[in-house]
Structure 1
Amino acid sequence: MSTTTVLARAGRAEWARIWSVRSSWVLVACLGLFMVGVAVLAGIDAAGNPESIPDDATGWDGARFTAMFALFGMVALAVMTSTADHATGAIVPTLQWTPRRGLLFVARSLVIAVTVTLLGVVLVSLASVAMGLLAGVGLPLDDGLRSAGELVVVLGCGALLGIGLGLATRSTAASLVLAIALLLVLPLLVANLPFEWATTVSSWLPGSGALFLIFGEGPRDDMTVSAARLTMLAWAVGASALGALRLVRSDAGH
């Protein structure tokens, strides 16, 4: 059987595996309701206080407002779907179905990363449109495309980070703790240490890159968009390499 055929078959199986469990639907539905609900409340509040709205404000500012919720929700979904069959023991029939583990890793990473990235962009866009309409501000296309582009980088790298951690640890809880630490806790904790080198170390963490791409602010004043993208990409590639190595080299039960 050709590599393309095996990869396509594994990809279809991974897609079915994501949506065949209720938890995926519940997580996406709850996250979507929460994000849109927060955007609606913010839009109503802004409409009631028009003097507080900056002259250059657009509805896409909601992307920055809700993107962090999307990031953590989509990383959680990536971790859950990458570790689910290890937790249930279903990884054994999965490997029997696709014994070429390298192809399984590629299929799993691509399907999960693309799925959660697109979902995250859609949810953030819905929240931004709701906020823009209720607040009475514009929704310029160029601003929306620019925000969506940065979201793709943040969500895509975040998803690959979660998948890599999930495959490396084979534990949903451990992977979620590590992901939250790298994306939220450690960047803030290290940046607030009373040492000059601490801000530099903090800027090398994926959470700092995500915050800079979303809000335009980071632990260092000289951070750039390119540096933030490279930081997130490096962590995504590193975590993916660890996950691939564990999947390819270790038995399913170890």
Structure 2
Amino acid sequence: MTAATMTDSPAIFTPRSEYKLSGIGLLRSEWTKFWSLRSSWIVLLCAAVFAAGIGLAVAATYSNVGDQGSIPADLRAEAALGTTMFGVALSSMFVAVLGVLAITGEYSTGSIRSTMSAAPKRLSVLWAKAAVFGAVVIVMYTAMVFVTFFAANALLSGTDLAGVSLGDENVVRALFGYVAMVAYLGLLGLGIGAILRNSAGSIGFYVGVIMILPNLATLLPWNWVSDVVPYTPGNVVNSIAYIDTSGLDLSYGESWLWMGIWLLVTYGLAAFMLKRRDV
């Protein structure tokens, strides 16, 4: 008597099409995860209060340098934006930290395994996280920047920085430049988090290497260092928030170009490492 042999190969389970995770479903998943975390609410609230609060406080306590109207219109607009939007640039640190936590939090808790099991195409998870995070930051900061602009203008009424309007040349471009600056730095933080996968290490790398090290490097006695520093990831955003970029190291277009290059490098490396690692 011979043992029966199985000639048919085992069937491969294929999920029904209605159960497959779509791009929209992945975006909804990341949206839900983002807003279900208490850290998202706390950090965004801190960023908004910090950015708007500093701008309004400075505008409310501003003392005239000269008589009203004594500053030329082009210089007045630049000075007014630089004064009232100072907090927006500083608040980018909050957003960058939130970008790091948006992805490293899943690695620290181990929930990233569930995410990758539900979405086997790993790169789509990275793109969905970046898309949701970027959209939230852009919408929030667009509203906050313009509200701060109008409120600060009202507080500056009667001073030598009064009279700046959205109709002035390149004012709207500069305001959106502040929004783009914060969004870029936040996405850069998320990309670094995707590469290092550790909250403390990613935040330390962002603060130490991206923000502080290039500025300290200018103290070195080598002329080429000063030529390179404007092209570092944390400094390429400087030009897009100015009304007049003629005297800056990078032009408006060059600033946008290098922002794109650094994001491409960061997310390219993150995507490569995401494909190569086990989880």
Same fold (TM over 0.5): yes
Classify 1:153/1:133 alpha carbon distance in 2 versus 1 (closer, same or farther; 3 Å). Answer: same
> Which residue of the partner structure matches residue 23 of structure 2?
7
* TM-score, normalised with respect to structure 2: 0.79
Residue 28 to residue 171, structure 1, CA distance change in 2 (3 Å): same
Residue 46 of structure 2 is aligned to residue 19 of structure 1: no
User: Percent identity among equivalent residues?
Assistant: 24
Per residue, is there more helix in 1 or in 2?
A: 1
Which residue in the other structure is 2:53 paired with?
37
Query: 1:70·1:123 contact (CA, 8 Å) conserved in 2?
Result: no
1:180 matches 2:204:
no
Q: Does 1:131 align with 2:146?
A: no
Partner of 2:87: 66
Q: 2:264 matched to 1:237?
A: yes
Superposed displacement of residue 246, structure 1: 2.0
- Give the partner amino acid of 1:104: V
CA–CA distance in structure 2, aligned partners of residues 152 and 221 of structure 1: 19
Distance 1:18 1:187 in 2: 32
Q: CA offset at residue 122 of structure 1?
A: 2.8
Q: How many residues align?
A: 249
Equivalent AA in structure 1 for residue 189 of structure 2? G
CA displacement, residues 107-140 of structure 1 (integer Å, 9 cap, x when unaligned): 1111112222332333333333322111112452
Structure-2 separation of matches of 1:216 and 1:187 = 24
Gaps of at least 5 residues in structure 1 are none
Q: 8 Å contact 2:47–2:94 — kept in the other structure? A: yes
Change (3 A) 1:98 1:138: farther
Root-mean-square deviation (CA, aligned residues, Å) is 2.7
Change in 2 beyond 3 A, CA 1:221/1:30:
closer
Residue from 111, 122, 134 that aligns with 2:143: 122
Q: 5+ unaligned residues in a row in structure 2: which ranges?
A: 1-16
Q: Which has the larger radius of gyration?
A: 2
TM-score (norm 1): 0.86
Which is worse superposed, 184-193 or 82-91? 184-193
